[in-house]
Structure 1
């Protein structure tokens, strides 16, 4: 990148944030701090009102705005790809907002770039294997959660926990959102459980943003949470089960809902590997397939299945259980 292009890009970066540290600029353009200081001085000499706070960073003086930004063909294609990803991997609220933003972006593109995007439109696809969200879970709260994060306001959730299939009310202090294993999760301090928890967003039945605020500095950062707890705040069990080939076809998309991470052909069977947060929850699903599945591991799941089978047997042997 030549210097003129870099100065323009630095100016756009300054307009995008309230304060930008010199180290951020240096990292983005792979230049030294000395070069950053020279570039900022060049912008100031050109009449751009760049202010500086010692030990903090640079900022544009209030009231200064760049003319409308023009996008290159490559940038426009990247934005189109982002729109395709958002349409499949986000919730209803963010999908709508991103679509509105893309309409505004397309409105300022040159005619040749608009034609270029139209030619790409039908040739980019994102295929998601996620199961559709049940109607009772609206899956439209990502924008509200982002708002509460930005404003540091308490969220009140109606949350359905899969492991015990119960709906509870939670007041939480959000620390971040992450996308993993095909789902969005809210990471937050739960006042009910007095600890950090992750909440799968497609299991949230309702959300309201409270007027009450919280102090984010009292909590660990999202990065610290991920480093400390990994992807989950409860241990996962690696489960291996072999299904007859005909049955594995009938299972269809259900396997993704129960944590499928790998499948391979073993003789006339399909061996599936799952990462399950709760063996009882997984075992109750496995019971629906009768005696056909063969449990390879772990031994604890076999013991759990024996208990569940005994429970069902006793239920139907005892006439009083039907009264």
Structure 2
């Protein structure tokens, strides 16, 4: 960030709070306290009415306001994503207030940014959201795909599939992205497969936006694609807790039951599955006996209790 941009950003930051400490500004912009002192002095010399109180920080004279702030293209797109996430993660009333505030912020966008948000509005969907896990190591791919969607550019990628684990190079025409079950997914037209595919963002090992443009007119909307997938298969997220000594018994059969990922937590491993059949999955789990614990969903635990009762009754 050059000095002019930093001075503008400091002034915007001062408007956002009643009092701002120099250390807070230094941490945000990654500069020394001496640099912040010099920048604030430059703003004062230029006529900005800044009040500095020892031990308190800086504040602007009451009533002083900047003219409307100009947002960058990336910042405008980030607001759209935030709106989608907040809609699913906050309560109805809080979500309403956030939307009203966002409308006021959007009102100061340039016409080109307003048009951009309208154009990409339907290419981002949040189906289910956990606010503590909405973004992970897929964030770089997310930004690249968001840019490609807004610019209608083909993306050259290297993608690693789950089962079997294979690495392929693909050219994709991104259509939209959606968030579900703690992951971001890309829906795109794959030029290699000559068909539409869904890709998990964190499984792209490489990605590069090319200069090749494509037309969205020939592609279905993200919503119509999601409706089609939902109609074909209703997936359930299932999490099993598996002690270390039992992992070896699940290795050969996990992929047949919708295995997605796993995470080491202390002396156990939490395994995540996506499966459309609660009945089929519970009958697999019951064969594992005392080697797993069902963490979620409750409907799976309830069905396991019922099935165990039915077995006991049958055996007299």
Scaled by the length of structure 2, the TM-score of the pair is: 0.47
